Amino acid sequence: MQTFSTQFARQNPNIAAKKIFSLIKDEMALVEAEFERQASSNIQIINYLGDYLRASGGKRVRPALLLLSNYASGGNPAKENIVRLATVMEMLHTATLVHDDIIDNADTRRNRASVNARFGNQAAVLMGDWLYMSAFETSLQERSLEILDILTRLTRKMTEGELIQLTTLGKTDITEEEYFDILRRKTAYLFSACCEIGAILGNASEDEQSALREYGLNLGTAFQLADDLLDFTAEEEILGKASGADLLEGKLTLPLILLVKEDAAVKSDLERIMHDGDYETISRRMLLKKLENAGLLAETRDKAYSFANKAIKNLEQLPKTEYRVALEEIPSYMIERAK
């Protein structure tokens, strides 16, 4: 684990991202154009909301994973159907963000007003639903029951994850097992589906499909652990939303779950923050200091590296190409940005 950390500690995440995405620059431009086309409608308000969502940007990691997985499997991501399915994954992701922001009463997303804050909950709910349905309508053009089955199971798992998380809001006794179950459902399964569908479209062998499916699952887990670190350590302008927002929304992430396990007395502090909805009585800096002193941020980062290592090992089933190398470098990019 330490070897992985040391190996990639010198790599600037922005440079790594530029290197990775340069391989599929043209294909990502096609995805962006397809997203614009798919999010358009003869209904004016849908066009307006679609433009607002696309303008908020995002790293487009999920379609990039589908494209790279397809190339790594010997496919051709420039083909129309590959671009179409990559766009479907970004539409699904965008729909989940819209619905998540409504549930969390989030005011900002990527340094802009969230759709619900800007246009109201009613419009946001319906736009999220429209994106889901449009994504499935587009995926039907592939005429693949296998892909449709993956997308159906994925959507069910993501919805279940959101519902399960609702039952844990405000609780300080959530277990690591519960936390990772929610994480996989809300985040990791989408990464996994992107990689698996990319492999299927590349006519990969069953072993390669399985390897990329597991790669996505481990990568998605590492990604979310890094996000949990960022929630506490990054400033608002980097996060694109309020720092420490997860706890304010009643969610305990892994660093805090570990802190409660080590010091049960901290429960009352966390409960007070969640009840008040701010850090005025108990500061975020004080909590951060407790986490640092107990080594729990480092422990969470180590867990992220452990899943990143597993993801890289999954790729050993694939031929060594520049696209496999890019997939191998993505975990470091995910985690190093949280340092």
For residue 191, give the nearest of 68, 282, 295 by alpha carbon. Answer: 68
Tell me the mean pLDDT in the region 7-30. 76
Q: What is the rounded CA–CA span in Å between residue 163 and residue 254?
A: 19
Q: Which residues pair with 225 in a beta bridge?
A: none
Walk me through the domains of the chain, giving residue ranges and CATH numbers: 2-336 (1.10.600.10)
Non-local CB neighbours of 266 within 8 Å, separated by 6+ positions: 259, 260, 290
For residue 64, give the nearest of 271, 204, 216 by alpha carbon. Answer: 216
For residue 208, give the nearest of 81, 53, 316 by alpha carbon. Answer: 316
Phi and psi, residue 86, nearest 5°: -60, -40
Tell me the mean pLDDT in the region 78-100. 93
For residue 338, what pLDDT is reported?
Answer: 59
Evaluate whether 289 touches 302 at the Cβ level (below 8 Å): no
Least confident of 194-198, 223-227, 316-320, 331-335: 331-335
Q: pLDDT exceeding 90 applies to what percent of the chain?
A: 72
| Two tokens, residue 306 | 């452990």
Residue 270: its H or E element: helix 267-276
pLDDT of 110 over the 90 cut = no
For residue 72, give the nearest of 221, 211, 217, 218 by alpha carbon. Answer: 211
Phi and psi, residue 108, nearest 5°: -130, 155
Evaluate whether 49 touches 75 at the Cβ level (below 8 Å): no
Phi and psi, residue 89, nearest 5°: -65, -35
For residue 2, what pLDDT is reported?
Answer: 39
SS3 content of the chain, % helix, strand, coil (to 5): 75, 0, 20
For residue 10, what pLDDT is reported?
Answer: 46
* Whole-structure pTM value: 0.92
pLDDT tens track for 281-312: 999 899 999 999 999 999 999 999 999 999 99
Phi and psi, residue 64, nearest 5°: -65, -40
pLDDT classification of 339: cutoffs 50, 70, 90 = low
